[in-house]
Amino acid sequence: MRSFVYPAVLTPDDQDGGFVVTFPDVPEAITQGGDVSDALQQAADCLEEAIAGRIRRQACLPEVSPERPNCYPVPLPAQTAAKAALYLAIRQTGMRPGEIALQLRCDEKEMRRLLDPRHASKLSRLEAALAALGQQLVVDVQASGGD
């Protein structure tokens, strides 16, 4: 099972105040916030952009490292996580989006939209595409660490 909750490191910014946020698993994802709450909100946006950028560039998505002390878990938004799971499943099977589109009885344009991090897709279509690749989307709900 693949999780999309990445550890974030918050480092106090002595020069400007607040915190600098980095992700050990996603080195290009760097942001900052005025306090812990703001830093974590900025971290979620930054992480989503970094993963979306990797999907658009057809690059590898980083594995999530084990929990680390003094790190904050930052989850990808649900739709981005589902699209990342589909992207990884396609890469793992080696199937082309056109082949999956045939199985789903849709056109190739819809498959491209399912992989587009900027396009809002129906969860049922993402689940169907994952099922065509032998994958199942599992949702986990946890109490938020926010205010």
Tens-level pLDDT at each residue, the chain (147 residues): 789 999 999 999 988 889 999 999 999 999 999 999 999 999 999 999 999 999 999 999 999 998 888 899 999 999 999 999 999 999 998 888 888 888 888 888 998 999 999 999 999 999 999 998 899 999 888 887 654
Q: What is the radius of gyration, based on Cα positions, of the chain? A: 17
Cβ atoms within 10 A of the Cβ of 8, count? 26
Q: What is the CATH number of domain 8-74?
A: 3.30.160.250
CA gap 88, 94 in Å, rounded: 10
CA gap 115, 108 in Å, rounded: 11
CA gap 18, 87 in Å, rounded: 35
Q: Which amino acid is at 94?
A: G
Name the token pair of 12.
């106090």
Q: Sheet harboring 5-12: ordered strands across?
A: 30-33, 19-22, 5-12, 71-75
| pLDDT confidence of residue 62 | 96
| pLDDT confidence of residue 145 | 64
Q: What is the largest CA-CA distance in the chain?
A: 56
